[in-house]
Amino acid sequence: MDFLNALVALLNFVIIPATAYGAQLALGALGVTLIYGILRFSNFAHGDTMAFGAMVTILVTWGLQAAGVSLGPLPTALLALPVGILATGLLLIGTDRVVYRFYRAQKAKPVIFVIASLGVMFIMNGIVRFIIGVDDQRFADGERFIISARNFREITGLDEGLAFRTSQGITIVVAIIAVALLFWFLNRTRTGKSMRAFSDNEDLALLSGINPERVVLYTWLIVAALATTAGVLYGLDKSFKPFTYFQLLLPIFASAIVGGLGNPLGAILGGFLIAFSEVGVTYAFRKVVSYLAPEGWEPEGLLQLLSTDYKFAVSFGILLIVLLFRPTGIMKGKTV
Amino acid sequence: MTSNPYQDDRGNKDRSITRPAATHMGDPVKPGGSAVRVEGENPFLIGHEMTGGYGTGADILHACTIAVEPGEIAVIVGPNGAGKSTAMKAVFGMLNLRDGHVLLDGEDISALSPQARVGKGMGFVPQTSNIFTSLTVEENLEMGAFIRRDDISPTMEQVYTLFPILKDKRHQAAGELSGGQRQQVAVGRALMTQPKVLMLDEPTAGVSPIVMDELFDRIIEVARTGIPILMVEQNARQALEIADKGYVLVQGRNAYTGTGKELLADPDVRKSFLGG
């Protein structure tokens, strides 16, 4: 019985939250890795792209809520998500037209793009704060729990409760669908294959008649969809605050690099690796160990390796170790 | 190296934030030009008295002429640094031509970009990076046929008949294949557009002599289907043996021109380039 309680506590506080967080990071890292693979630079504006997409979705959600539209037990934000994706797609294509296309025409070195994306980041950041403000915004509605802690205790008779929030369930399901769609697109469609070909060998892609501007356009649209989805899921799961999204850039980049930049499978793996280590290292294991330890052996301390304030240090610790021992990332990156 | 500040990334080679592009394209003709029909009798493909170099650099080619007729194999040979590959790139539009012009099938295509020349029916196999390593063999062939909107499966079947090993490995990543097989993928990819002329830049570079003989056999087979082949070769003797026409370049100029047999028999050519 105690072993079961320990397992439930572990599921409740580590495995479920880390899986949801990992799915959000994976979606974010997929966007980063696609831009790196195809446009050849690290897009520092990615966190704020997520914030922009989430912001538009929130505004539409509020509109829908005011109009009395709802999805029943599911959050209304899912209904607003396509609008958010569309708006973000337009923003990214607009940014490409105004900023990145100029540098492409100049055949600028990738590092110039990186710095340009830093500027884009600040502008997007400003736009989001200007429109929605810097404060926390809540927009989750519908049923809060798939399984609530109390129900779980009543059903199983265990001491430990297990809460499985709707937002967590939706995050996992949506992430699986998004990743399946992305992989189907990249591996099965002509356009997807041309994007991989362009990423693999730009010159040969040109000689094969693949239009680079078209590849770039599709890349931004896919990135917009991934970033908005990741942003909305994160906002539903936690809360929306522009600054948090700016900070999310760090674990997202860590995920993409750890998994192998340019490799979509690696981005997913990296996302979960970072999420599980972040949650695992900053969780106080006292409760779990108390259930497992013999009578009278309960630990006195919290059994927490690091305070949650240091969670970003975990991502970077892993990043350093991976880069030292396997510089191309776990899944050997560089190409999509 | 360059005066364009956007192309200066000195000290910024961090692979974790940027992904350097490999550049083999030379100095491609800008898109937007159009082909002009020309009157008179001309070879099927001819780079006529081409003079030019990369960017604003010194001329590498000096009034160099290369031509090929349907059903022929034309080979460009010469010592290192003679401008063999450069001459072929000039024909394909990857060089800034200051003088001379390129005619294909009665049209002046000098103003066309390399991509547009592919559309006009030129198939080009670069010397290096000539396959998509992370794509499967079949995807490589599909990408070769990207500009086509019709059914590509008959062409793919033809390529598989020509290179049976590729059919066995069609679901394998092209980067996992051996050197000779990669070259077959590269040639197969170029054939997928059903080109009117095929240009090969040192197809046997870095493969063993046995594989080289096999590749030459395959190239002859391709030529027998009627596609004219223009080829740069390091292995001058073997290449001239299969050539209908040979061009010996020295320092970007036509030094000797003739049929493959004539050149092989020419004492000067033998002494200078074929080792006696």
The number of C-alpha atoms within 13 Å of A272 and in the hemisphere containing its C-beta is: 13
Residue B121 CA to residue B134 CA, distance in Å, equals 26
Query: Could you give the C-alpha distances from A294 to A9, A55, A115, A283, B194, in angstroms and in order?
Result: 17, 50, 57, 21, 76
Of residues B202, B219, B69, B238, the one with CA closest to residue B125: B202
pLDDT, tens only, A43-75 = 999 999 999 999 999 999 999 999 998 888 899
Cβ neighbours around A110 below 10 Å, total: 22
In angstroms, rounded to a whole number, what is the distance separating the alpha carbons of residues A121 and B214? Answer: 55
What pLDDT sits at residue A242?
Answer: 93
**Looking at residue A323, what is its pLDDT?**
82
The residue-averaged pLDDT of A260-288 equals 91
- In this complex, is the C-beta atom of B182 within 8 Å of any C-beta atom belonging to chain A? no
Distance separating alpha carbons of residues A24 and A37, to the nearest angstrom: 20
Task: For an interface test with B, give the residue of A207, A320, A335 to mutate (most B CBs within 10 A).
Answer: A207
Say yes or no to pLDDT of B25 above 80: no
Q: Tell me whether B11 touches chain A (CB under 8 Å).
A: no
CB B34 within 8 A of CB B112: yes
Task: Give just the sign of the alpha carbon dihedral A207, A209, A213, A219.
Answer: negative
Contact B9 A109 (CB under 8 A): yes
To the nearest whole angstrom, how far is the Cα of A310 from the nearest Cα of chain B? 23
In this structure, are residues A216 and A113 in contact, taking their beta carbons and an 8 Å threshold?
Answer: no
Q: Which of B15, B133, B146 sits opposite A208 (nearest CB)?
A: B146
Residue B76 scores a pLDDT above 90:
yes
Give pLDDT, residue B9.
Answer: 72
Residue A330's pLDDT band, with cuts at 50, 70 and 90, is confident
Task: Residue A103: list chain B partners with CB under 8 A.
Answer: 6
Q: Is B16–A206 a contact, with Cβ atoms under 8 angstroms apart?
A: no
At A42 the pLDDT is 92
Residues of A in contact with B18 (CB under 8 A): 40-42, 109-111, 113-114
Rg, Å, chain B Cα set: 19
What integer is the mean pLDDT of A251-268? 91
Q: For the residues A286-293, what does the mean pLDDT come to? A: 85
- With 50 as the cut, is the pLDDT of residue A336 above it? no
- Ranges A290-294, B158-162, B205-209, most confident: B158-162
Residues of chain A whose C-beta is under 8 A from some C-beta in B? 36-37, 40-42, 103, 106-114, 190, 193-194, 196-197, 199-210, 257, 261-262, 323, 327, 334-336
One-letter amino acid at A27 equals L
B19 touches chain A (CB under 8 A): yes
Between chain A and chain B, the number of residue pairs with CB atoms below 8 A apart is 119
Nearest C-alpha neighbor of A318 from the set A249, A261, A271: A271
Q: Which amino acid is at A122?
A: F
B23 to chain A, any CB pair closer than 8 A? The answer is yes
The answer to whether the beta carbons of residues A228 and A54 sit under 8 Å apart is yes
List helix spans (H) across B193-256: 209-224, 236-242
Cβ of residue B3 closer than 8 Å to a chain A Cβ: no
| Residues A189 and A325 sit within 8 Å (Cβ to Cβ) | no
Provide mean pLDDT across the span A223-227.
Answer: 97
CATH class assigned to A2-325: mainly alpha
Judged by CB atoms closer than 8 Å, whether chains meet at A110 and B189 is answered as no
Angle of CA points B25, B27, B33, to nearest 5°: 105
Give the pLDDT of residue A57.
97
Nearest CA in chain B to A116: B6
Nearby residues of A145 by Cβ (< 8 Å), 6 or more positions away:
A151, A163, A164, A165, A166
Is residue A207 a contact partner of residue B114, using CB atoms and an 8 Å limit?
yes
Nearest-Cα distance to chain B for A114, in Å, is 7
Confidence of residue A136 (pLDDT cuts 50, 70, 90): very high
pLDDT, residue A335, reads 46
Task: Quote the pLDDT of residue B41.
Answer: 82
Q: Choose the closest CB to A334 out of B19, B115, B124.
A: B19
Contact B16 A323 (CB under 8 A): yes
Whole-structure pTM value: 0.89
Q: Tell me the pLDDT band of A170, cut-offs 50, 70 and 90.
A: very high
**Residue A118: closest CA among chain B residues belongs to which residue?**
B17
Closest partner CB to A194 (pick from B134, B146, B193): B146
pLDDT score of B22: 61
B214-266 pLDDT, tens digit per residue, is 999 999 999 988 899 999 998 888 899 999 999 999 999 999 999 999 999 99
Beta carbons of A65 and A212 less than 8 angstroms apart: no
Strands B45-53 and B61-68, sheet pairing: antiparallel
Q: What are phi and psi of A245, to 5 degrees?
A: -70, -40
3-state helix, strand, coil in chain A (%, to 5): 75, 5, 25
CA distances from A254 to A232, A278, A287, A312, B5 (A): 20, 12, 30, 10, 30
Inspect the interface and report whether the beta carbons of A201 and B119 lie closer than 8 Å.
no
| Residue A267 contacts residue A36 (beta carbons within 8 Å) | no
Tokens standing for residue B82: 């003679």
Tell me, yes or no, if B142 comes closer than 8 A to chain A by beta carbon.
yes
Mean pLDDT on A173-184: 96
Q: Taking 70 as the threshold, does the pLDDT of residue B1 lie above it?
A: no
A53 within 8 A of A221, measured Cβ to Cβ: no
What is the spatial distance between Cα B173 and Cα B160, in angstroms, rounded to a whole number?
A: 16
Q: Which residues of A touch B22 (CB under 8 A)?
A: 201-203
Domain positions in chain A are: 2-325
For chain B, give the mean pLDDT: 89
Q: Which residues of A touch B147 (CB under 8 A)?
A: 208-209
Instruction: Find the residue in B nearest to A194 (Cα).
Output: B143
Query: What's the average model confidence in pLDDT over A158-184?
Result: 93
pLDDT in tens, B30-71: 888 888 888 888 899 999 999 998 877 889 999 999 999 988
Q: Is the CB of A114 less than 8 angstroms away from the CB of B17?
A: yes
Residue in A37, A110, A190 closest to B20 by CB: A110
Identify the band that residue A301 occupies on the pLDDT scale cut at 50, 70 and 90.
Answer: confident
Q: Which residue in A4, A312, A272 sits closest to A157, CA to CA?
A: A4
For the stretch A13-51, what's the b/e string if a residue is b when 16 or more beta carbons lie within 10 angstroms of its beta carbon? bbebbbbbbbbbbbbbbbbbbbbbbbbbbbbbbbbbbbb
Dist CA B56 CA B121 (whole Å): 29
Separation CA A199–CA A35 (nearest Å): 10
Q: Which residues of B117-136 are buried (b: 16+ CB within 10 A; e: fewer)?
A: bbebbbbbbbbebbbbbbbb
In a mutational test of the A interface, the residue from B122, B131, B139, B146 whose CB has the highest number of chain A CBs within 10 Å is B146
Query: How far is B104 from B118, CA to CA, in rounded Å?
Result: 11
Contacts of B130 in chain A (CB under 8 A): 204
Predicted local distance difference test score (pLDDT) of residue B30: 82
- Could you tell me if B7 lies within 8 Å of chain A, comparing CB atoms? yes
Q: Which two tokens stand for residue A277?
A: 């280590």
Rounded to the nearest angstrom, the minimum Cα separation between B73 and chain A is 22
State whether A208 and B114 contact (CB < 8 Å): no
What pLDDT shows up at residue B11? 67
Is pLDDT above 90 for B272? no
Summary mean pLDDT of chain A: 91
What's residue B81's pLDDT? 84
Beta carbons within 8 Å of B24's beta carbon, 6+ residues apart: A203, B126, B127, B128, B129
Which of B14, B113, B134 is the best mutation test for A, with the most CBs of A within 10 A? B134
Interface test with A, best of B19, B147, B183 (most A CBs within 10 A): B19
Radius of gyration from C-alpha coordinates of chain A? 21
pLDDT above 90: residue A325: no
Chain A nearest C-alpha distance from B5 (Å): 8
